[in-house]
Amino acid sequence: MSTEKTAEYVPGTESCLTDAVRTGCARVMEQARHVQIRSDFIPAYAERISSYFPYENLWHAAGWHFRSGSDEALAAYVLTLDSINFGSGYFSALEKREGMSGYATIASWLTDRFQENPLTAHDLKNMSAKLCADIFHQNIANPEMLELMERFAKAMSETGRQILEHYDGKFLNLVISADHSAVGIAASLAKFPQYADIAHYHGFAVPFYKRAQIAAADIYLAFEGQRAGALSDLAKLTIFADNAVPHVLRMEGVLEYSEALAAKIDAEELLEAGSEEEVELRAAAIHAGDMIVAALHALGQTGVTAMNLDHYIWDHSHRPEYQSKPRHRTQTVYY
């Protein structure tokens, strides 16, 4: 077991945020006991999916997300949604809209609220579990939903405070301050305590920053790469380490789980956030993701980024063949 300390990412040092994520994940995979990357399966997987690229994620096409002529309202929607872009470990208890996933349910109810009247930083600062339950149409008599709505309220309230204190109450100011850098947006959000997505494994820090990175990607998508969403360094982002990516890669043979871990996941047992197993799952997703991107480049798909690959995997994770087996469940504020 290694007790060596690694250089930890310090929020504000934008140039090393995603480098720190990749370095930490590579170190985890050097020592991993529960999850292995089958590198021999990667070329064939890359060939199977190569024809899907370039893969375009159309943010507005599904109809879940808020559209606005106001850049401030659009930035407010994206940063509010990504402040609560977690809870997959609770989604079995979530009251979903017909035909929608947990994420789509949350995104669409938030869209309805913004269409009535966009939430402001002051609104978020004063958020409560009861108000969240009203916005997202959940029954907080259910203890799991009460816990999730309390976590949502805390995250939204913190976001409101940060925007008021550091960005003059304007969500767009955070985006503009990054000077068209996706990593810069992620680094700004990484300063918020709720985005401190850093695990510890065998004595060293492993930053993931899933929600901070996906918020930057979502700004790009929501603004359709225009105006404040014209981001220059999207290729630096990593795969967004949640529970969908490792699940799909397991089903495709790219990831191999230990018998004990596979049994826990297949039995739908909760994995503890920050546990050795959970950290390895997330690290493997990121490290394997970069290997798959490299394999796609070797096939001539040189424009593919980890963000593109993530969008492809996440969209396809809802297909019946991937829904036939459980994915890992963790009750966390990070995904």
pLDDT in tens, the chain (335 residues): 333 333 444 544 445 799 999 999 999 999 999 999 999 999 999 999 999 999 988 788 888 999 988 999 999 999 999 999 999 889 989 999 999 999 999 999 999 999 999 999 999 999 999 999 999 999 999 999 999 999 999 999 999 999 999 999 999 999 999 999 999 999 999 999 999 999 999 999 999 999 999 999 999 999 999 999 999 999 999 999 999 999 999 999 999 999 999 999 999 999 999 999 999 999 999 999 999 999 999 999 999 999 999 999 999 999 999 999 999 999 999 99
Is there a contact between 239 and 326 (Cβ–Cβ < 8 Å)? no
251 found inside a domain:
yes
Rounded CA separation 218/213 (Å): 9
Could you say which of 71, 197, 242, 310 is catalytic?
A: 242
Rounded CA separation 264/284 (Å): 18
196 found inside a domain:
yes
Q: How many domains does the chain have?
A: 1
Nearest to 238 by CA among 8, 11, 25: 25
Residue range of the domain that includes 170: 14-323
Q: Which two tokens stand for residue 187?
A: 């680094």
How far lies 8's CA from each of 19, 29, 180, 205, 334, in Å? 11, 18, 25, 6, 18
Rg (CA), the chain: 19
333 found inside a domain:
no
Is there a contact between 306 and 289 (Cβ–Cβ < 8 Å)? yes
Catalytic site includes residue 242: yes
119 found inside a domain:
yes
The model's pTM = 0.92
Is there a contact between 124 and 156 (Cβ–Cβ < 8 Å)? yes
Rounded CA separation 314/327 (Å): 12
Rounded CA separation 335/328 (Å): 12
328 found inside a domain:
no
Please list, in sequence order, all residues whose beta carbon lies within 8 angstroms of the beta carbon of residue 171, skipping any fewer than 6 positions away.
72, 75, 76, 78, 79, 80, 121, 163
